[in-house]
């Protein structure tokens, strides 16, 4: 009898702890998101300052029919009591021509590549075979299609595509803003997963509470 009560208390304590833990992580990720966004806004403002307000404006957004290069993968498995299970994962810069090519490993390589680009915008080719300007890459797109399309090439092409709505010659600050918003997007997915955990624990706790009040 006493052991049954103890196990009941332990299970409810576990739910409360899970709830508190996911709430803490949620707030931490939100904090990190705020920093990434602040960084992004500052870089965007710098880019606007150097390029001019008319060059970075919503009037230049691409309104032609196109699909998103960065999407989410939904994990349809019910998390249940296993709160560690994530529901969303980010699929970055997946071209519609090869949509399966996105992976977590590739994502980190892409990030490294972007870091290199944002630090030294003139050096592009990561194997060091040739140095060319970023803008030239846009015009040399057909050449890239001839070579085997690696994940990095594809990510680079997609990044240039999204930057090109603001022109061919863009400020390095705009690239830095792009990188910051990509980081923010990764954090957002973490926030969404923690939110799912939080709601899961919340539902469990509410059920528990309702069953005890009956």
Partner 1 sequence: MANRAPVRTNNSALIAMIADEDTITGFLLAGVGNVDLRRKTNYLIVDSSLMAHVAAVVNTDFSPDEVVLETTVKQIEDAFKEFTTREDIAIVLISQYVANMIRFLVDSYNKPIPAILEIPSKDHPYDPAHDSVLSRVKYLFSAESVAGDRR
Site residues (vs partner 1, CB under 8 A): 19, 23, 26-27, 30, 33-34, 37, 40-41, 44-45, 56-58, 61-76, 87-88, 91-97, 99-100, 158-159, 161-165, 174, 177-178, 180-182, 184-185, 188-189, 191-192, 195-196, 198-199, 202, 205-206, 209, 213
Biggest distance spanned by C-alpha atoms of the chain: 77
Cβ at position 203, least distance to partner 1 in Å: 10
Cα–Cα dist 133/23, whole Å: 46
| Burial class, 114, CB count within 10 angstroms (exposed 0-12 / middle 13-18 / buried 19+) | buried
Cβ at position 124, least distance to partner 1 in Å: 18
Cβ at position 128, least distance to partner 1 in Å: 27
Q: Which is nearer to partner 1, 125 or 164 (CB)?
A: 164
Tokens of 8: 């009941």
Q: Which is nearer to partner 1, 3 or 64 (CB)?
A: 64
Alpha-carbon distances of 134 from 3, 109, 118, 131, rounded to whole Å? 69, 18, 11, 9
R_g of the chain, CA atoms, integer Å? 23
Q: Which is nearer to partner 1, 24 or 133 (CB)?
A: 24
Cβ at position 121, least distance to partner 1 in Å: 15
Cβ at position 80, least distance to partner 1 in Å: 13
Cα–Cα dist 124/114, whole Å: 9
Q: Which is nearer to partner 1, 124 or 186 (CB)?
A: 186
Closest CA to 160 of 37, 129, 152: 152
Cα–Cα dist 79/94, whole Å: 26
Q: Which is nearer to partner 1, 150 or 165 (CB)?
A: 165
According to DSSP, residue 86 is labeled: -
């Amino acid at each position: 009898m006493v052991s049954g009560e103890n196990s009941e208390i332990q299970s409810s304590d576990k739910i409360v702890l899970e709830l508190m833990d996911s709430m803490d992580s949620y707030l931490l990720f939100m904090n990190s998101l705020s920093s990434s966004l602040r960084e992004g806004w500052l870089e965007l403002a710098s880019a606007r300052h150097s390029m001019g307000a008319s060059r970075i404006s919503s009037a230049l957004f691409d309104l032609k029919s196109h699909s998103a290069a960065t999407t989410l993968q939904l994990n349809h498995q019910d998390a249940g009591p296993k709160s560690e299970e994530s529901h969303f994962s980010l699929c970055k810069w997946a071209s519609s021509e090869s949509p399966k090519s996105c992976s977590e490993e590739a994502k980190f390589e892409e990030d490294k590549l972007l870091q290199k680009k944002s630090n030294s915008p003139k050096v592009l080719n990561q194997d060091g075979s040739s140095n060319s300007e970023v803008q030239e890459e846009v015009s040399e797109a057909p050449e890239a299609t001839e070579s085997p399309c690696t994940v990095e090439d594809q990510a680079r092409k997609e990044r240039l595509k999204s930057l090109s709505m603001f022109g061919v010659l863009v400020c390095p600050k705009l690239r830095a803003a792009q990188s910051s918003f990509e980081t923010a997007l990764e954090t957002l997915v973490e926030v969404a997963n923690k939110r799912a955990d939080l709601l899961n624990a919340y539902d469990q706790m509410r059920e528990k509470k309702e069953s005890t009040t009956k």
